[in-house]
């Protein structure tokens, strides 16, 4: 179990924007989820190249956030818990031309349950988009041995925040940044600006 951090960091706005775009474009995605004894294997594809680029960006960014404990969606009990246990997840991410394959394993049975729940949550996001975005997710029953730190004891933001020029994994074969790939969609289309400054922002 690792400490997790709430608050603002340099990458958050970008990561929110990408996530909002994914909610907007959820209908172009297809997913298969295999539950393994010790984890999951998921394949998420899209017929839309912009959505594929967004998926690559999102999954690689979330993987990095999990490693650093930089929580998104802290109001949903499930996500802080997933981030707390990120150090017990061994993961392989394979960006593909039409989507992304993720394989995640853990030696901790409770974390395996978290991985199952997370895969189900993503499937629901992909299926219902914004309709699913504001619904919280419950935690699996917790064995007493893996009781986690209460929220109030989680750490404040670290001083070593990510810098704005933090190097990001490549988006696609042309090495374009997300704003180069979808500048129009980023600016004002769709529902992704809904409530972003209020408590209803699903990424905070």
Phi, psi angle pair for 50, to nearest 5°: -65, -40
Q: What is the contact mask toward ligand HEM in residues 79 to 118, using x (rule: CB under 6 A)?
A: x--x--------x--------x-x---------------x
What tokens appear for 79 in the block? Answer: 């996500």
Q: How far is the CB of 144 from ligand HEM (least distance, A)?
A: 25
Beta bridge partners of 103: 41, 92
Going by C-beta distance under 8 Å and a sequence separation of 6 or more, which residues neighbour residue 142? 110, 148
Contact 194, 21 (CB under 8 A): no
DSSP state for residue 155 in the 8-state scheme: B
Residues binding ligand HEM: what is the number (CB under 6 A)? 27
Write down the residue that tokens 């650093």 correspond to: 68
Site for ligand HEM in 18-57 (CB under 6 A): 19, 22-23, 26, 29, 42, 44, 55
Out of 125, 185, 192, 204, which residue is the one contacting ligand HEM (CB under 6 A)?
125
Helices (H), the chain: 12-24, 49-68, 78-84, 109-128, 130-133, 178-181, 183-186
Nearest CB to ligand HEM, comparing residues 135 and 180: 135
Nearest CB to ligand HEM, comparing residues 48 and 144: 48
Binding interface with ligand HEM (CB under 6 A): 19, 22-23, 26, 29, 42, 44, 55, 58-59, 62-63, 66, 72-73, 79, 82, 91, 100, 102, 118-119, 122, 125-126, 202-203
């Amino acid at each position: 179990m690792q400490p997790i951090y709430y608050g603002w960091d340099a990458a958050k706005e970008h990561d929110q924007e990408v996530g909002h775009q994914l909610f907007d474009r959820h209908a172009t995605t297809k997913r298969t989820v295999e539950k393994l004894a010790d984890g999951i294997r998921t394949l998420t594809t899209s017929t839309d190249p912009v959505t594929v680029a967004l998926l690559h960006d999102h999954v690689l960014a979330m993987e990095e956030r999990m490693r650093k404990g930089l929580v998104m969606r802290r109001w949903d009990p499930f996500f802080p818990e997933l981030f707390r246990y990120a150090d017990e997840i061994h993961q392989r991410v394979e960006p593909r031309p039409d989507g992304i394959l993720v394989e995640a394993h853990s030696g901790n049975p409770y974390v395996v349950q978290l991985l199952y729940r997370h895969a189900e949550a993503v499937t629901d996001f992909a299926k219902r988009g914004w309709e699913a975005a504001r619904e919280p997710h419950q935690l699996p029953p917790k064995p007493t041995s893996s009781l986690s730190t209460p929220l109030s004891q989680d750490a404040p933001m670290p001083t070593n925040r990510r810098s704005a020029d933090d190097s990001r994994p490549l988006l696609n074969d042309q090495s374009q940044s997300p704003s180069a790939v979808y500048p129009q969609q980023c600016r004002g289309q769709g529902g992704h600006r809904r409530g972003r400054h209020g408590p209803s922002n699903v990424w905070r």
